[in-house]
Structure 1
Amino acid sequence: MVHRIDRKIIALLLLSQLWFLGCQTSTVAPVAAGKNSGKADAGQYFTNPIAEGADPWVLKKGEVYYSCGSGSGGIYVSQSTKLTQLGERVPVWQAPDSGWNAHNIWAPELHYLQGKWYIYYTAGRTPGGPFIHQRSGVLESSSGSPFGPYVDKGMLYTGDDLQHPESGKWAIDLTPFYLNGQLYAAWSGWEENATTDKTKQHLYLAKMSNPYTISSNRVKISSPTQPWETGGELDLNEGPELLKKKGKAFLIYSTRESWLKEYRLGQLTLADTLQDPMKADNWVKSSGPVFEGTEEVLGVGHCSFTTSPDNTEDWILYHAKKSATPGWSRDIRMQKFTWTQDGYPVFGKPIPAGVPLPVPSGQK
């Protein structure tokens, strides 16, 4: 009798352990990457990645998120009320057959400035590499809609001699922003045009007189000089994006090689937005990367920022490599970030694909 009772107790214990492990698994089991249909609790969770592609750009206006990207020789825009589902990609502009912007359309950004929609983008006059002809341009919507139609406002001047527009220098990833009422443009560029795309990239800043005109010579505000920015095939700073909090301004930028798993984010800090951003010494570089890959999430970089639907949370969108193999096969991911008490961003570590995450606050 004793042995029978012992066997029953052991069986019950084993069953309870199996039940416990089953509960654990159902809580943290990865959902198929990018498939929100598998998430629990009626849409309260999502999983990364949220989309295919790279260089994610999202702008929140009112209750709508507008996304922008490039593909098939042109630029698309999408809209959605859900940050985790960026919406249908609608083509809004196709590159011309010839000219400075006929090929290599990269990293477009959609902005609403001075009552109009603008798209800033990178392009080149010859297809493929070496990518030595890349410049930055801007499109303006003629309809008041982010879906255009768009008018090509031309190449933006990105050089050292404003009196000679033809002297512009190689420039990619241009982004506009306001500080203290002044419109600026920041981008990644070369000191001099070169015959090889294995040329060091720096961050530059210039003033703008309107959304389609740069009105000052450029100022170099950052170079890849730190150990965590160098050591690979190419030293670069690129993809600058602005953040502001508690009187401080930050330029979050990408460094190391975009085609390698070491791609990561660095930070420049303007300690007081009343300081002149055109003075390079006013920008302080972080002592190390502020967001970098792990063994599970590779090559994180080229980000944009937005808020949750109810504006109570801050979110970073970024791309990651699909494998450790060198190349540009990437997908788009997002996660919430926080701030220190004195107003510095804390991005944490990239969360692996398939892990359920709560949707942004206020998302329906």
Structure 2
Amino acid sequence: MNRQLKKLVVLVACGGWLLGCKSSATLPAPVATDARETASSRYFTNPIMDGADPWVLKKDSVYYSCGSGNGTIYVSQSTKLTELGTRVPVWKAPASGWNAHNIWAPEIHYLQGKWYIYYAAGKEPGGPFIHQRSGVLESTTDSPFGPYADKGMLYTGDSLQTPSSVRWAIDVSPFYLNGQLYAVWSGWEKNASTDRTKQHLYIAKMSNPWTIASNRAKISSPTEPWETGGELDLNEGPELLKKKEKAFLIYSCRESWLKEYRLGQLTLSDTLADPMVASNWVKSSAPVFQATANVLGVGHCSFTTSPDNTEDWIFYHAKKSEKPGWQRDIRLQKFTWTADGYPVFGEPVPSGVPLPVPSGQR
């Protein structure tokens, strides 16, 4: 095998630096016109990084991701979907108050000309996680990196006129449908003294990106055999997926700390139908994305497109082992659509398997 071909094999086997090669600089410098050089950058492998609850937003050909850790929310940006960029801290939880602890699953959105971050938090550290509520931050500049102003707690209850009646809520995600801004989230029917409380999906109208303007409506509960049967019945992490004149909510079910975590799907019967009417949503008859023997506990996803907008991609997290807990990593893969417009996610691709990078990525 000649020297140049050996170099190509090494690069493809490593999947680029994402699989653990410290730097392509450790290899002999390729000739700029060598076609084999570009071959090494056309593949990646999962996982792409440690973490959980991945969120990515594409705007003006740039990918913005959002995450949390140690009471801090960070944002990163990149032109490459497989390399999310450097994490930049943009907000730190206050020392006290309703949002001082347990900062979970932030999402960054660009709405009405401004950047917003939605997140869950609690007033006390650690478990039981019975104090989780949801809030929103607004960038005071035109930058996704802030600084951010705290716009306060979102109302997630049944009596809008009584703000103190706010209910337990996590995973708030806003979206537009037919010109109306909505928020969808995971919540409890009533506040409880145990975090082993059933979680449902709720939706409400918003009057602006930081104000919920209606009482919540419950649109999904864990009722199907594939959603139940473990330590806790839950629906959480709902995300809107809209394409080909159809609207879906892809959500997580079963327990996030177990290998059985998986994705379900709600389909809006008609995109002109009222999404706040539960009967307008049709639940899938089985999970639409679930674990295999090689990839465990898949869930809490977000969606985006390739740089050239010709492919659809799902971001999700998976467990690192069968042991119960929240040690997870972040993965992505391309998904397709049926002829009649339904998403096909397939099976999670095992770690280390080379995958073609998103179309148009350089």
TM-score for the superposition, normalised by structure 2? 0.91
Using the TM superposition, give the Cα deviation of residue 27 of structure 1 relative to its aligned residue in structure 2, in angstroms: 11
Are 1:256 and 2:254 matched, yes or no?
yes
Q: Distance in 1 between matches of 2:297 and 2:196?
A: 19
User: Residue deviations 1:307-356, cap 9 Å, x none?
Assistant: 00000000000000000000000000000000011110000000001000
* One of 273, 281, 284 as aligned partner of 2:282: 284
8 Å Cα contact 2:105-2:119 kept in structure 1: yes
* One of 17, 20, 36 as aligned partner of 1:35: 20
Q: Name the SS of the counterpart of 1:41 in structure 2.
A: helix
Instruction: State the match for 1:54 in structure 2.
Output: 52
- Equivalent AA in structure 1 for residue 239 of structure 2: E
Are 1:298 and 2:296 matched, yes or no?
yes
Q: Distance in 2 between matches of 1:270 and 1:164?
A: 30
Instruction: State the match for 2:29 in structure 1.
Output: none
Moved more, 187-196 or 29-38: 29-38
8 Å Cα contact 2:12-2:40 kept in structure 1: no
- Equivalent AA in structure 2 for residue 157 of structure 1: Y
- Equivalent AA in structure 2 for residue 183 of structure 1: L
Instruction: State the match for 2:3 in structure 1.
Output: none
8 Å Cα contact 1:30-1:353 kept in structure 2: no
Using the TM superposition, give the Cα deviation of residue 62 of structure 1 relative to its aligned residue in structure 2, in angstroms: 0.9
Q: Distance in 1 between matches of 2:61 and 2:246?
A: 26
Using the TM superposition, give the Cα deviation of residue 247 of structure 1 relative to its aligned residue in structure 2, in angstroms: 1.7
TM-score for the superposition, normalised by structure 1? 0.91
Q: Distance in 1 between matches of 2:19 and 2:323?
A: 21
Q: Distance in 2 between matches of 1:303 and 1:319?
A: 7
Using the TM superposition, give the Cα deviation of residue 81 of structure 1 relative to its aligned residue in structure 2, in angstroms: 0.4
Moved more, 176-185 or 42-51: 42-51
Instruction: State the match for 2:116 in structure 1.
Output: 118
8 Å Cα contact 1:308-1:361 kept in structure 2: yes
Are 1:202 and 2:203 matched, yes or no?
no
Using the TM superposition, give the Cα deviation of residue 41 of structure 1 relative to its aligned residue in structure 2, in angstroms: 1.5
Instruction: State the match for 1:9 in structure 2.
Output: none
8 Å Cα contact 2:12-2:39 kept in structure 1: no
Which aligned segments of 4 or more residues in structure 1 are displaced greater than 6 angstroms? 25-28
User: Residue deviations 1:66-105, cap 9 Å, x none?
Assistant: 0000012110000000000000000000000000000000
Instruction: State the match for 2:33 in structure 1.
Output: none
Where in structure 1 are there 5+ consecutive unaligned residues?
Answer: 1-21
Count of matched residue positions in the alignment of Structure 1 and Structure 2: 341
* One of 211, 214, 237 as aligned partner of 1:213: 211
Instruction: State the match for 2:311 in structure 1.
Output: 313
- Equivalent AA in structure 2 for residue 35 of structure 1: G
Instruction: State the match for 2:361 in structure 1.
Output: 363
- Equivalent AA in structure 1 for residue 218 of structure 2: K
Q: For 1:63-102, list aligned pairs within 5 A.
A: 63-102=61-100
Cα RMSD (Å): 1.7
Rg comparison, structure with higher value: 1
Q: Distance in 2 between matches of 1:235 and 1:342?
A: 31
